[in-house]
Amino acid sequence: MASVVEYKGRKAGYRCGYCDSAEGKVSCGMWAHSMTVQDYQDLIDRGWRRSGKYVYKPVMNQTCCPQYTIRCRSLQFQPSKSHKKVLKKMLKFLAKGEISKGNCEDEPMEPTMEDAVAGDVALINKLDIQCDLQKLKESLECEEKKGRSSKKAESHELIQSQDTEEKLGSGGPSHSIEVHAVPKPGKGADLSKPPCRKAKEIRKERKRLKLAQQSPAGGFEGVQAPREPLSLFLPKAKSSQPKSLEDLMFESLPENASHKLEVRVVRSSPPSSQFKATMLESYQVYKRYQMVIHKHPPDKPTVSQFTRFLCSSPLEAENPPNGPDCGYGSFHQQYWLDGKIIAVGVIDILPYCVSSVYLYYDPDYSFLSLGVYSALREIAFTRQLHEKTPQLSYYYMGFYIHSCPKMKYKGHYRPSDLLCPETYVWVPIEQCLPSLENSKYCRFNQDPEAVDEGRSKEPDRLQVFHKKAIMPYGVYKKQQKDPSEEAAVLQYARLVGQACSERLLLFRS
């Protein structure tokens, strides 16, 4: 299994989807016919990002809105006050049906996927002639012809999917989870306790256990200590042991809760049976999102656009024994409220991270701050995957754009790092912000002697796929007479780095 890419070069003078500059966007791009998850991991660690099968890299020192790759260190993540408000708002809605009034705090406002790659859209449309897109369209048409299946059959299918999908927030074998389910022992409320017990009592007991474990005696002996003296230290425990993300997110709900929320992860490429069965409903949510949130006319959010940007992916599905139970590749994280989809997070699961691609949701549920809530769920999901796959510990949020106020919210998920655009090392965001206040484009690595350690040093070792044969660039270039060909190949080598240039197959016609 090898990655096959077709480099399309530098594109300049296009409209920017972030600042609406008519000609400010500058980027380099390539069409990925196929790609391994390790190759894509290495590419995003050099500032690349995908939109469908098109993989692009902003020319940072020339584009109008420099886009810095940002990652959150999920294992150390602690929700902020505003994050906690969103989680509490969701729990109140699920428990009692309460709808909070007022504006959504810190609600993300991503541009459309087409805006993110504005200027390259025509190229993507032209290139996207892969058969899987046609198959998806055919499967959607087939779903439409089937008409409205009965509610009974529909619910039966959902129950079946729980047996074949991975359970979020727990080690179970199902992809489905109810918000009030137990993620893992020690994380969230323990539903094995009698249902009549209040969550407040359970939290107090958990705190006492934590204090007992922290006692000098060690072990669990401290559990037998009298409760009264321990209670004196509870305020101190609260400050030193803040609630974890899972404690807040998976707090128990009453048995007569007003609503039920399930989060399911379904593989989108190649499309799983669960993905195909729910694609029409998912598309309808996307269409409403584009029309209401981004003011698109009804005929613009087409099935082709949806599949091209949010379903098609070059990533090969991989299921190694030491990897996540769901495997690596591209997925849709579906949020089901009372049996219907209200939001979908498009994600890639890679060797070292969960990479967020896009989110769309039903505008009727904007009051739930689904942009923030889904990001917190994805962080929790990353932490859960880490338990089985220790090297997978980061949550990549795409691009951080300091010059665009609507895109600065990504810096609120701490601790996080930005990628230096020159040396490709990660730098804590706190160290980067002062420089970004003074200049849109910054080199974050403070060592003036530091260079890109992964730079292309031996371009002749670059792998070329030409006339159904694979050969080193050193052999290929002897057959070429066009001087522009060498310039394009060397530019590509510089952008992908030495390691990727030796693994990726660069298609040349």
What single string gives the DSSP state of each residue in 278-332? HHHHHHHHHHHHHHHTS---TTSS-HHHHIIIII---BPPB--TTS-TT-BEEEE
Q: Which two tokens stand for residue 300?
A: 């613009």
Q: Which of 15-24, 78-87, 121-130 has the lowest mean pLDDT?
A: 121-130
Q: Which of 153-167, 327-341, 484-498 has the lowest mean pLDDT?
A: 153-167
pLDDT at 127 (0 to 100): 59
pLDDT at 403 (0 to 100): 93
pLDDT at 200 (0 to 100): 67
Q: Which two tokens stand for residue 163?
A: 């047996």
Q: What is the mean pLDDT of residues 182-192?
A: 44
Q: Is 51 exposed, middle or buried (0-12, 13-18, 19+ CB in 10 A)?
A: buried
Q: Which of 47-61, 184-198, 411-425 has the lowest mean pLDDT?
A: 184-198
* pLDDT tens-place string over residues 375-384: 999 999 999 9
Q: What is the mean pLDDT of residues 310-323?
A: 98
* pLDDT tens-place string over residues 411-445: 999 999 999 999 999 999 999 999 999 999 999 99
pLDDT at 325 (0 to 100): 97
Q: Give me the phi and psi of 485, to 5 degrees please.
A: -65, -45
* pLDDT tens-place string over residues 253-294: 999 999 999 999 999 999 999 999 999 999 999 999 999 999
pLDDT at 100 (0 to 100): 81
- Quote the mean pLDDT of the chain: 83
pLDDT at 504 (0 to 100): 98
Fill in the DSSP letter of residue 35. B
Evaluate the omega torsion of the peptide bond into residue 415 and state whether it is cis, within 30 degrees of 0: yes
* pLDDT tens-place string over residues 478-507: 998 888 899 999 999 999 999 999 999 999
For 157-187, letters b (16+ CB in 10 Å) and e give ebeebbeebbbbbbebebbbbbbbbbbeeeb
Q: How confident is the model at residue 124 (pLDDT cuts 50, 70, 90)?
A: low
pLDDT at 34 (0 to 100): 98
pLDDT at 1 (0 to 100): 77
Examine the pLDDT at 99 and tell me if it is beyond 50.
Answer: yes
How large is the angle between the packed helices 37-44 and 483-503, nearest 10 degrees?
110
pLDDT at 241 (0 to 100): 80
Please state, as a whole number, how many other Cβ atoms lie within 10 Å of the Cβ of residue 296. 16
Q: How confident is the model at residue 20 (pLDDT cuts 50, 70, 90)?
A: confident
Examine the pLDDT at 176 and tell me if it is beyond 90.
Answer: no
Q: How confident is the model at residue 136 (pLDDT cuts 50, 70, 90)?
A: very low
Report the SS3 class of residue 233: coil
Q: How confident is the model at residue 106 (pLDDT cuts 50, 70, 90)?
A: very low
The amino acid sitting at 458 is E
pLDDT at 134 (0 to 100): 46
Residue 123 · residue 129 · CB < 8 Å? no
How many residues does the structure list for the chain? Answer: 509
- For 170, 182, 197, 266, 474, the CA distances from 193, given in Å and listed in that order, are 17, 11, 7, 31, 68
